Structure 1
Amino acid sequence: MIYPVVLAGGNGTRLWPMSRELYPKQFLDLVGEKTLLQETLLRLSGLEMAAPLLICNEAHRFLVAEQLRQIDLLDHNIILEPAGRNTAPAIALAAQTALPSNKDALLLVLAADHVIVDDEAFRKAVAEATPLAEAGELVTFGIVPTHPETGYGYIRRGEAQDPAFRVEQFVEKPDIATAQEYVTSGDYYWNSGMFLFRADRYLEELQVHRPDIHDPCVAAMNGTERDLDFIRVNEESFLQCPSESLDYAVMEKTSRAMMVPLDAGWNDVGSWSALWELADKDVDGNVSHGDVIQHQSKNTYVRAESTLVATVGVQDLVIVQTKDAILVAAKDQVQNVKAIVNELKANDRSEHRIHREAYRPWGKYDSIDNGSRYQVKRITVKPSAKLSVQMHHHRSEHWVVVSGTANVTIDGKTQMLTENQSVYLPVGCVHALENPGKIPLELIEVQSGPYLGEDDIVRFEDRYGRS
């Protein structure tokens, strides 16, 4: 049985301002109606698979859970890393999770943020790799290159063993001249970072080549705890792991590495120009998402989240509008977006980390206005969801119900509010908000006080384990 293992812990910066530290690209619907994470899982349809195992960090756990719930794949199957340690330790956790239920478990290791255009070709490659993995080989998928690319590592193929090849060598990212030589030779493939192997074989190889990773991961899994839909590993043990990729820890050292070629329109969506290349274009080569008007413009990518964006007489640009930021970049310079993110971090600004609209396990809020000593939020609470029982030291709040029904508890007394009704919460009161209804609860919250930061929350009870 194949267990999909989806690595969903990245903090993408190259797709800023859509991708943020607390809402990175794998959770965005950048190329279709579903998010990249959801598409990764849905393309497995038609293959005989066990429930997927998702690996992510603490900050993204509720995003992962909600996106799995939306496609009916949430099944206590999210492993939380106490800290990022790269792919080799993460996959060791997944291997130990799968083995108790199936001693012959195969792990199909996938990134949560890649695009594959031809799902059928992908499934065919997995089917071809399966007998090899069952026989104890460690299989990677090499992408048939379409052009010289300096942003990817390469795999050099060795002896042919139809339909696969022995891996001769893993190669670091080349310069453009070397990349051209690789493509011309026909012996090199892009390194996709996708793998298929038996869970027990991976752990055997890891123990031989990197016991300093294997042993702490085994200890970490001996101290797991179940928390809602999450598997929490022993933090103290896991933190003893060095940070290392699967390639360096195992694949470059093992004698059992095989490669199955994959020609399926793969793209790691590493930049806005990559999204322009993937998208359908108008007759002038333009791509438009959202409320966009392009006039006498060419080869330009425009994405508008919340307002009209118009272009006149421009070309080869990327323009991305979110509720709190606008990016305008030359299409051939978008790899340098990370410099903007670094400057935001250096200046201690929040736009690199979080969107104006922030998601929580109970719903979301949108900070629609703020100024000296006040902030206004639009809050959406999912049906049957409840915010934590909490209090604030520095701010009072007014709540006005826009739609739906709210159960409001203030200092132990509960009242029900409906559309157009409001309530005042003074500084220091212990309060809670719950949606008892069948439709989303929408309300406007007006905060006032000398300090309005999100860290002025003292939680007494929380059904999501945050108290």
Structure 2
Amino acid sequence: MIPVILSGGSGSRLWPLSRKLYPKQFLALTGAQTLFQQTLLRVVGEGMAAPIVVCNEEHRFIVGEQLARIGGTAQAVLLEPFGRNTAPAIAIVALKLLAEGRDELLLVLPADHVLEDQPALQRALELARAAAEQGELVLFGVPASTPETGYGYIKSHPGPGDLPPGVLAVERFVEKPCQAKACEFVASGDYFWNSGMFMFRCSRYLEELKRHEPDIYDTCLLALERSRNDLEFVRIDPATFACCPDNSIDYAVMERTTRACVVPLQAGWSDVGCWSSLWDVQDKDEYGNVLKGDVLLQDCHNCLVHGGDKLVTLIGLDDLVVVETKDALMIVPRARTQEVKQLVNNLTAQERQEAQNHSQVYRPWGAYDSVDIGSRFQVKHLSVKPGAQLSLQMHHHRAEHWIVVSGTAQVTCDDQSFLLTENQSTYIPIASVHRLANPGKIPLEIIEVQSGSYLGEDDIQRLEDVYGRSASQREGEQLLKR
């Protein structure tokens, strides 16, 4: 069985922690590991092959780094140039495996969900395997215990006798009902929340997709044929993929096939879709508060408070979510956290950087943090991983000063190459061809002071890059800088 980890979501309802370029699946929201890492770890074991990860190309190096941190490996990482929902993502995985002569069982998992009971998950997987081996398309349904209006629902019935014991047939799907309907569904006991987890054989999924959505099937087949390898990644052809219809597996296949079935999943599942659902799954103090960071409360109840760099204090408040980061502060009633998505849409419409990225921006070589910025200057803190290097590059509008805080820097500036150590500095003139590298065994910490008429991240002309981001190595690179 091959786990397929879908890691394309943006997690906008968990802003300001989750941002477009560093979304919730890569955050450690419920433990020491990130949600993506937790998903990978729960599918390690007997009968499980190495996973296949599908992610946005903007997140490729984050995926690689988070895999490495837990000692994990993926048999393939497929890069979507842009999102086209779950039906095409799964189709390309299935087509790739069939092209390799491998008609395997696929276990499809979102990368950003929580499952607290691993033994219960294993029992559900065994039931699902028996059904999938018979050609069924299996959904994992969470028994609807509360009238949630943000989930899709599945109505079940016992079904024909050829289904394995414990597996139910699907009668119908209901997408995000109103409160009154959700109450009826919970009271009936026949409804499940759609967990977004699936199991089926490659050929069966593609057979149903070709029958119900031939345009998706044909476009994905052509996009895969035109894909190419880039380092350890597989790049899906963007020109072809742009023509693919945007559709979920639920609408494209599961709601239209006659072979859908449900395996009940009672494993402490949550999609952690908003701040209120994160509050639900976290440990609370005696007053029902969930606290993280430097937080002090006085006479507060049932709040979620996430502090960043500052002390956060609340007095006499109930049922609030307060999230503080270096560049944003959000306060919202816990009952209205679903509205955060609209707030992010408004920020995006205003082209606010806070919707896209944190002040700390992650790159394949490390990260940089914006410390201060003015009309003709910018100060950044760069952290370069041991053995890593930035691209060989030049700027047309700015000069830079580099000051080494700790570690050793190998500097290339035009025809010179030299080492800098702690408290030493250098100057990079406008239009100089330059590179920064860390030849040491500890992280290299640099303060970079930029000055000039234009300080945007797009004033970078890459001449050479070990991460495949220079113009000569990949045309159209716009989003990942340095």
Q: Counterpart of 1:465?
A: 468
Query: Which residue identity is paired with 2:95?
Result: Q
Match of 2:453 in 1: 450
**Conserved 8 A contact 2:227-2:234:** yes
1:207 match: secondary structure? helix
Is the 2:50–2:75 Cα contact (8 Å) retained in structure 1?
no
Q: Could you tell me whether the CA contact under 8 Å between 1:397 and 1:447 is conserved in 2?
A: yes
> Distance between the aligned counterparts of 2:26 and 2:421, measured in 1?
33
Aligned to 1:62: 61
**Structure 2: how far apart are the matches of 1:73 and 1:50?**
12
AA partner of residue 242 (structure 2): L
SS where residue 200 of structure 2 aligns? strand
Are residues 1:256 and 2:255 paired?
Answer: no
Q: Is the 2:51–2:75 contact (alpha carbons within 8 Å) kept by the matching residues of 1?
A: no
Moved more, 215-224 or 411-420: 215-224
Aligned to 1:389: 392
Which aligned pairs between 1:291-302 and structure 2 lie closer than 5 A? 291-302=294-305
Give 1:169's match in structure 2, choosing from 167, 172, 180: 172
What CA deviation, in whole Å up to 9, does each residue of 1:435-464 have, x standing for no partner? 111111111101111111101101000111
C-alpha separation between the residues in 1 aligned to 2:6 and 2:431? Answer: 41
Q: Distance in 2 between matches of 1:246 and 1:336?
A: 25
Q: CA deviation at 1:237?
A: 2.5
3-state SS in 2 of match to 1:14: helix
1:371 to 2:374 alignment? yes
- On the 8 A contact 2:2/2:52 being kept in 1, the answer is yes
Give a deviation string over 1:206-240, Cα, whole Å, max 9, x none.
11111111111111112221111211123333222
User: How far is the alpha carbon of 1:88 from its aligned partner?
Assistant: 0.6
Q: TM-score by structure 2 length?
A: 0.94
Match of residue 287, structure 2, among 281, 284, 287? 284
In structure 1, distance between residues paired with 2:405 and 2:365: 17
Whether the aligned pair in 2 keeps the contact of 1:78 and 1:230 (CA below 8 Å) is yes
Deviation, structure 1 residue 76: 5.5
* C-alpha distance after superposition, 1:32-88 (max 9, x if no partner): 111111111111233421111111112111111111121222346210112211111
- 2:464 and 2:273 map into 1 onto residues whose CA distance is 40
* Counterpart residue number, 1:341: 344
Mark the runs of 5 or more structure 2 residues left unpaired by the alignment.
Answer: 471-482
The residue aligned with 1:14 is 13
2:191 maps to which of 183, 188, 191 = 188
Q: TM-score, normalised by structure 1?
A: 0.97
Q: Does residue 422 of the first structure (1) align with residue 421 of the second (2)? A: no
Kept after mapping to 2: 8 A contact 1:403/1:441: yes
Structure 1 pair 229–354 and aligned structure 2 pair: CA distance change class (3 A) = same
CA distance in 1, matches of 2:453, 2:75: 41
**Are 1:85 and 2:84 an aligned pair?**
yes
CA distance in 2, matches of 1:56, 1:421: 40
Partners of 1:293 and 1:311 within 8 A in 2 = yes
CA deviations 1:241-293 (Å, max 9, x no partner) are: 11111111111111111110001111111111111111111111111101111
Write the distance in 2 (CA, Å) between the matches of 1:152 and 1:181.
Answer: 14
Q: Partners of 1:454 and 1:288 in 2: how far apart?
A: 35
Partner deviation per Cα, 1:410-447 (whole Å, 9 max, x = no partner): 00311011111111001110000111111111111011
Aligned to 2:224: 221
Q: Is the 8 A contact 1:76 1:229 kept in 2?
A: no
* Partner in structure 2 of residue 39 of structure 1: 38
For 1:319, the aligned partner's letter is V
Question: In 2, distance between residues paired with 1:217 and 1:68?
Answer: 26
Residues 290 and 304 of structure 1 are in contact (CA less than 8 Å); yes or no, is this contact kept in structure 2?
Answer: yes
Matched, 1:151 2:178: no
In structure 2, the residue matched to 1:95 is 94
Is the Cα–Cα contact under 8 Å of residues 97 and 103 in structure 2 kept in the other structure?
no
Greater alpha carbon shift after TM alignment, 99-108 vs 268-277? 99-108
Tell me by how many angstroms 1:100 deviates. Answer: 4.4
Q: Which amino acid aligns with 2:118?
A: D
The sequence identity of aligned pairs, in percent, is 57
Preserved CA contact (<8 Å) 1:27 1:36: yes
Asked if the contact 2:401/2:425 (under 8 Å) is kept, the reply is: yes
Q: How many residues align?
A: 466
1:393-412 equivalences under 5 Å are 393-412=396-415
Report SS of the residue matched to 1:463. Answer: coil
Task: Output the CA distance in 2 between the equivalents of 1:412 and 1:49.
Answer: 52
1:144-192 Cα shifts (integer Å, max 9, x gaps) = 1121111111111122442101111111111111111111111110011
The 1:376–1:208 alpha-carbon spacing in structure 2 relative to 1, beyond 3 Å, is same
| Deviation (angstroms), 1:315 | 1.4
Structure 1 contact 401–443 (Cα < 8 Å) conserved? yes
Aligned letter for 2:378?
Q
- 1:142 is matched with 141
Going from structure 1 to structure 2, the CA distance change for 1:104 and 1:339 (only over 3 Å counts) comes to closer
In structure 1, how many angstroms separate the alpha carbons of the residues matched to 2:385 and 2:153?
45
Q: Distance in 2 between matches of 1:157 and 1:108?
A: 21
Aligned residue identity for 1:14: R
Task: State the alpha-carbon separation in 2 of the partners of residues 103 and 422 from structure 1.
Answer: 55
Name 1:238's counterpart in structure 2: 241
Q: Distance in 1 between matches of 2:346 and 2:328?
A: 14
Q: What RMSD in Å do the two structures reach over aligned CA positions?
A: 1.3
1:209 corresponds to which of 193, 196, 212: 212
Is 1:304 the counterpart of 2:316? The answer is no
Counterpart amino acid of residue 469 in structure 2 = R
